[in-house]
Structure 1
Amino acid sequence: MAWETNGWQTTSPEELNAAQIQESRRAFMSRVYGWMFAGLFITGAMAVYTASSRARWELALSWSIPLLLAELGLVFALSFAAPRLSGPVAGVMFVAYAALTGVTMSVYLLAYTEGSVGQAFLLTGGIFGAMSLYGTFTKKDLSGWSAFLFMGLIGVIVAGVINIFLQNDMMAFVTSCACVVIFSGLTAYDTQKLREVHANHGYSSAATVSIVGALMLYLDFINLFIALIRLLGRRR
């Protein structure tokens, strides 16, 4: 509501505060997406670099278990220790995680045709963009999705581990379909959650919470891509 003061219209304190919150939120989300896209670029570059040399991808394959353990260690450390981390330390950890992910994901460049990889990437970008916009502009509170998404995530993880031993194509197909639904939903949920909690984050710095937010959306994108390439990809 505008106030009239000596013939001039001025902005009320409530409107000014709301505008400041909106501007702060936009700046925060810009940093989040900036870090996320930087992480995706590093992952893609490392995947191409690893896959372009037989010696490199054979070395990566021989070290696949240690690399996966290092990835898990980094992502858990960044997720749980983040409130105590400085911005530069969190940034280095995120970049290292994105690079390691690129090395391990080089297998998809070797297993699937270039056209399949490009198609899956574009489709992932489209779905991610649509769900992120939904999370941004919807008036619906998506917090009610959390229980369903969490249980679904646990379910696909358990099914994926079991299928390592079973190697059942139908289970793999169903799990990939479920992953598309779950990570699409998580994209919208995480986007809305980040927009709402950025001002009261409890982290040591704004840079740290931006990086943690970027990690959340980065993981949604990567897992959505993996599910789609497994569903739609044409093997070499």
Structure 2
Amino acid sequence: MQDNVIYTQRDQAGLNRFYSKIYGLVGMGIGLSAFVSLLMLYVFPQNLIAISSGSSWIYYGAVILELALVVMASSAAAKNTPAALPLFLTYSALNGFTLSFIIAQYTQGTVLQAFLSSALLFLVMAVLGAVTKKDLSGMRKAMMAALIGIIIASVVNTFMGSGMISYVVSVISVLIFSGLIAYDNQQIKNVYDQTGGRVGDGWAISMALSLYLDFINLFISLLRIFARND
């Protein structure tokens, strides 16, 4: 759709600023999540154990609240309201809390390997999405359909407890979120073009939220794959 756009030096500078703003927000979100997770794992480990063993309702309540915050942050970003950024950061912090319960199940080496691999794969797919001339919107439709499929498979597997199904779901998830990272980066350029460079903070927060979710889900999927070899 935007293959034939020729950027002037001024347009390119504006697009670069838009990318910088978005990735600044993504970095803030991931950094905040990592900080909260580290606090739970190394400063408040007894609280984490207490919640896991006797107050699991706190964890599940946080998960439900996360879902509500994602919807609220997306809506606020679409309306370009001042609440969008605080909602995004609150969600990132709460996600760090819930992630700590997942990370606690794995060795430090596995977590580090998964994080570094996620960062590298994210970088590769982000660059690919930003520079490719091929329209990735068709791929996104396939990725979203596959995502619905793995969500259903994951729910079914909670009752079956199959390690093989869990592994296959994780591998497919890596492919899905890698594709979505490429698409979302191409979409940044498309949004900039379609708005004539008049992109507000709402657009930046919306795109940052999408990329943040892509990274976190990619990290969790790789964590489960690497843990299989522990």
Output the TM-score relative to the length of structure 1: 0.86
Inter-partner Cα distance in structure 1 for 2:164 and 2:18: 42
Deviation (angstroms), 1:234: 6.4
Distance change in 2, residues 1:59/1:19 (3 Å): farther
Could you tell me which of 21, 26, 32 is aligned with 1:42? 32
Q: Which residue identity lines up with residue 27 of structure 1 in the other structure?
A: R
Q: Is the 8 A contact 2:26 2:208 kept in 1?
A: yes
> How far apart, in 2, do the equivalents of 1:102 and 1:23 lie?
34
Provide the secondary structure at the position in 2 that maps to 1:111.
coil
Cα distance in 1 for residues equivalent to 2:138 and 2:41: 41
2:225 aligns with 231
Mapped to 1, the partners of 2:138 and 2:228 lie a distance apart of 37
1:58-69 equivalence runs, <5 A: 58=49, 60-61=51-52, 62=56, 63-69=58-64
Structure 2: tracts of 5 or more residues without a match: none
For residue 135 of structure 1, what is the amino acid of its counterpart? G
Larger Cα-atom Rg? 1
Provide the C-alpha distance between the structure 2 equivalents of 1:212 and 1:183, rounded to a whole number of angstroms: 17
The 5 Å alignment of 1:62-141 reads 62=56, 63-86=58-81, 88-141=82-135
Counterparts of residues 8-27 of structure 1 (less than 5 Å): 18-27=8-17
Partners in 1 of 2:77 and 2:152 — Cα distance? 27
Aligned counterpart, 1:32: 22
Letter in 1 for 2:190: E
RMSD: 2.3
CA distance in 2, matches of 1:234, 1:55: 27
Kindly provide the CA deviation profile for residues 170-217 of structure 1, in whole angstroms up to 9, marking residues without a partner as x.
Answer: 11011000000000000001100111113546xx97112111111110
**TM-score (norm: length of structure 2):** 0.88
CA distance in 2, matches of 1:191, 1:205: 15
1:233 to partner: Cα distance: 2.2
Alpha-carbon distance in structure 2 between the residues aligned to 1:234 and 1:116: 10
Preserved contact between residue 173 and residue 221 of structure 2 (Cα < 8 Å): yes
The alpha-carbon deviation at position 60 of structure 1 amounts to 4.8
Q: What one-letter code is carried by the residue in structure 1 that aligns with 2:119?
A: G
Identity of aligned residues (%): 36
Query: How far off its partner does 1:58 sit?
Result: 3.4
Aligned partner letter, 1:72 = L
The answer for the alignment partner of 1:11 in structure 2 is none
Cα distance, 1:85 vs. partner? 4.0
SS in 2 for 1:154: helix
* Contact map agreement 1:36 1:214 (CA 8 A) in 2: yes
User: Structure 1 residues 170 and 234 mapped into 2: Cα distance closer, same or farther (>3 Å)?
Assistant: closer
Given candidates 43, 47, 50, the residue that maps to 1:56 is: 47
Matched letter for residue 33 of structure 2: T
From the superposition, tell whether residues 59 and 100 of structure 1 become closer, same or farther in structure 2 (CA, over 3 Å). Answer: farther
Q: Conserved in 1, the CA contact under 8 Å of 2:129 and 2:185? A: yes
Distance 1:140 1:46 in 2: 39
Corresponding position of 1:6:
none
Q: Which runs of 4+ in 1 moved over 6 A?
A: none
